[in-house]
């Protein structure tokens, strides 16, 4: 049991009702709620003094607070969290349900357009800023670019064969430069030929394994004669340590084999770097689409985010939808709207009936 759940379970009916009415009154009006107001709305007849005592106990628990002297009470952040988790009565209205369903067409193939409409609808229905985390595209890639944003941030731009364009942000491997990113992109663009990111990564993995086997075969004789040794074998920074070219030739090593080893090792390192870039591109954060929002909204302290994930046909979470607004959101209405929208998007992506 969480701490909030335990506090809630230990509260008596009167304390729970006072707390709920303070929160609901604040969410409805934005104003502090006083003891005299509560005497008119409580289910039992109690005096203002009794309610003040209960409010003092709730304030001691950190659930409500007075914004200034002689004011009523408003919920704290902890109080709002406990209300949402334990006391919220959320029900989706028929009108809201119809407006959400009108944005989704189960026969539509353009997922991006559908998500754009969902975001606009959420913003319009809730009067808040909507957030849509779109699922990653899995079509064959036509072109790829890596763009350095900062020392620890980079952007991969993916242009898919079907015309879809997607940006993903990732943390580049240490030591990578803008030049090395361009080289990786040039190498990958020459290989795509209708392949997806995962298919290309599998292809590179097979090439790396083949190069490694060839390299091991060439180096085996040198290692057996004591002329060379692997340092950090199998690790990311492994090296083949040799005794020097003159000693190798004196020991009977073939100069062509030595040059082949050097070439294979360089190729192995390059493909490992590029495979790492590909993996980071696959795992990078999906595109976030903000619709109907004003910049000042995100600079306000005390803003709230109501978010719900949606799944594909394999029951894997592939994205999320949400609403951002002031702390004084109408949670009882917003929570079921966001939850139902996420369910609807998931059903559409899974190709099932949208009416639940």
Measure Cα distances from 11 to 14, 15, 53, 54 in Å.
Answer: 8, 6, 14, 10
Q: Mind listing the pLDDT tens digit for each residue in 260-319?
A: 766 766 766 777 777 777 777 666 554 433 333 333 444 444 567 787 878 777 777 677
Q: Mind listing the pLDDT tens digit for each residue in 30-52?
A: 889 988 889 888 888 888 899 99
CA dihedral 261, 264, 270, 272 (to 10 degrees): -100
Q: Mind listing the pLDDT tens digit for each residue in 60-108?
A: 999 999 887 767 899 887 888 888 878 887 788 899 998 888 887 655 5
> Can you tell me which residue has the tokens 């795992």?
283
Task: Kindly report the average pLDDT of the chain as a whole number.
Answer: 76
CB crowding 135-163: b at 16 or more within 10 Å, else e: bbbeebbbebbbebeeeeebbbebbbeee
Structure tokens at 110: 């353009």
> Can you tell me which residue has the tokens 């999320």?
320
């Amino acid at each position: 049991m969480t701490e909030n759940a335990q506090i809630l379970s230990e509260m008596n009916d009167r304390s729970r009702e006072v707390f709920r009415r303070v929160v609901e009154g604040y969410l409805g009006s934005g104003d502090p709620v006083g003891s005299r107001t509560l005497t008119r709305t409580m289910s039992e007849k109690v005096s203002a003094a009794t309610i003040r005592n209960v409010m003092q106990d709730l304030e001691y628990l950190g659930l409500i607070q007075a914004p200034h002297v002689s004011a009523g009470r408003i919920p704290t952040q902890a109080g709002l969290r406990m209300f949402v988790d334990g006391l919220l009565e959320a029900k989706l209205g028929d009108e809201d349900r119809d407006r959400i369903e009108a944005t989704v067409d189960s026969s539509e193939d353009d997922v991006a357009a559908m998500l754009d409409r969902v975001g606009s609808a959420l913003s319009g229905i809730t009067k808040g800023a909507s957030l849509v985390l779109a699922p990653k595209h899995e079509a064959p890639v036509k072109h790829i670019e890596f763009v350095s944003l900062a020392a620890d941030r980079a952007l991969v731009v993916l242009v898919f064969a079907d015309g879809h364009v997607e940006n993903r942000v990732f943390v580049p491997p240490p030591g990578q430069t803008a030049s090395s990113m361009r080289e990786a992109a040039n190498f990958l663009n020459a290989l795509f030929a209708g392949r997806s990111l995962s298919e290309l990564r599998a292809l590179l993995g097979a090439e790396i394994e083949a190069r490694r086997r060839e390299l091991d075969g060439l180096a085996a004789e040198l290692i057996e004669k004591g002329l060379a040794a692997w340092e950090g074998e199998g690790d990311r920074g492994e090296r083949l340590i040799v005794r020097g070219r003159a000693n190798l030739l004196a020991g009977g090593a073939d100069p062509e084999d030595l040059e082949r080893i050097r070439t294979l090792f360089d190729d192995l390192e390059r493909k490992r770097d590029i495979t790492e870039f590909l993996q980071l591109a696959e795992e990078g954060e999906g595109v976030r689409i903000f619709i109907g929002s004003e910049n000042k909204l995100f600079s306000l302290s005390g803003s709230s985010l109501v978010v719900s994930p949606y799944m594909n046909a394999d029951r894997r979470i592939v994205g999320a939808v949400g609403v951002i607004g002031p702390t004084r959101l109408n949670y009882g209405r917003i929570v079921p709207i966001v939850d139902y929208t996420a369910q609807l998007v998931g059903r559409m992506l899974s190709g099932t009936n949208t009416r639940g």
